[in-house]
Amino acid sequence: MNDHHIDINPLLLNVDKAILYGVIKHELCHYHLHLEGKGYRHADQDFKKLLQAVGGLRYTPRLQQPKFHYQCIVCQQDYFRIRCLDVRKYACGKCAGRLKLAKDY
């Protein structure tokens, strides 16, 4: 905010233009509210109202597709991850059961 530059992920240049415009509107809302001294953070009501008024995106859509599919052995809860994880180190967040690699894309 202090240097008055807007940062946009370069991966957004390869997606639909409507998504890119929504993200640009989102960042401009941050910028405008910061300059006015109003609430510019995501949780602030000023930000939420302005973002809705201009039609900006609240969240950026997922830019990368998950490459790994893990599943809990006990409750069959699914977990999709972009990076590989060590199943000996992590457990299910729902029931604390062990995880197994269900599919590697």
Tell me, yes or no, if 27 is annotated catalytic.
yes
3-state secondary structure the chain: CCCCCCCCCHHHHHCCHHHHHHHHHHHHHHHHHHHHCCCCCCCCHHHHHHHHHHCCCCCCCCCCCCCEEEEECCCCCEEEECCCCCCCCCECCCCCCEEEEEEEC
Residue 90, token pair as written in the block: 């992590």
Determine which one of 15, 27, 74, 80 is catalytic: 27
Active site residues: 27
